[in-house]
Amino acid sequence: MTRTAPAKTQSTHSAAEHPVLAANARTAAGTRTARRLRRDGWVPGVVYGKAVTPTTVLVSRRELLKFLHAHAGEHGLLTLRVDAQPPTDGGPGGTSWEKPVLIKRVERDPVKGDVIHIDFHAIALTEQIRIKIPLVLNGIPVGVKQDGGLLEHFLREVEVECLPTQIPKQVEHDISAMKIGDTLHVRDLSAPPGARLTSDPEGVAASVLVPKVEKVEEAPAETVTEPEVIREKKPETEAAEGKEEKKAEKKVEKKEEKKEEK
C-alpha cells in the first residue's frame, strides 16, 4: 500500500476578521505514525464540539506556529478548514468542511517545547460561550506607594460570557486608589462591552495588605561568672594550721589519760 503524504496547506484570513487555518483529515493512527508525521512537519490534533463528530486532523506545524505567534495572549478563535484526505488505492476521499473553532489545548514536548498535539473546539458564532480571559490591574495602589503596603494579586483570570466574535482580550481595572486593608472583589470589576462576568462575584481579585515587619529578637544578656580563684596557701598559714592541729591532738590525748586514771 502506497502512503500518500498530506498536501501542504497555508493559512489565510477571512472577511469575518478571524484567520483560517487549513487542516487535513487524518486517517492513519498509531504512535509510530504520529512520530513520523511530526518529523515531516505535521502536528496531530482533534476537533470536537458543536455539531461535529470528533475528528482527528493534521495541521502544518509552520502555519500553526505562525498563528500562535501572531495571536499570543488571545483565545485562538479561527476557522478550521478541513480538507478531505486524498483518495488512496483508488478509493474515494472524504468531504471537505470548515467550522469556527477555539484552540482549547496545546500540548508541548516537556523537554524540547515543540507542539506535539492540539485540540480544537467547534462552536457556533451566534451562540454565547463562556471563556476565561486575563485580569489586568493598572496602576500602583496608594497603600503601596505611600504607606508601604503589599499588593496581593489573587485572580489572574476571570470568566466571561459572550459571543465568540466578541471575546474580550482582557478585563482591566484601575487599582490606584486602593489603600491598606482594601479588597477588590469580582463584583467590583466592569465587564468589557458585549461580555458578562460569570466568575463568583464574591471572589477576591486583589488586596492591599499591611506590610510584614520582621521582629528581631534580642539575645538575652549573658551572665558573666567570675572564675573561682584558688589561691595557694602561704607557708606561714600552713605552719599555723599545723600548730592548731597538734594542740587539738594533745587535748584529746590528755582527756583520754584522765579517763584511764579514773
What's the topology of domain 12-124?
A: Ribosomal Protein L25; Chain P (2.40.240)
- What was the pLDDT predicted at 259? 60
Distance CA 205, CA 186 (A): 6
What tens digit of pLDDT does each residue of 59-102 get?
999 999 998 888 766 677 899 999 865 444 444 445 788 899 99
Q: Which CATH number fits domain 130-209: 3.30.200.20, 2.170.120.20, 3.10.129.10, 3.30.420.240?
A: 2.170.120.20
Q: What is the mean pLDDT of residues 248-262?
A: 63
Domain ranges of the chain: 12-124, 130-209
pTM, 2 dp: 0.64
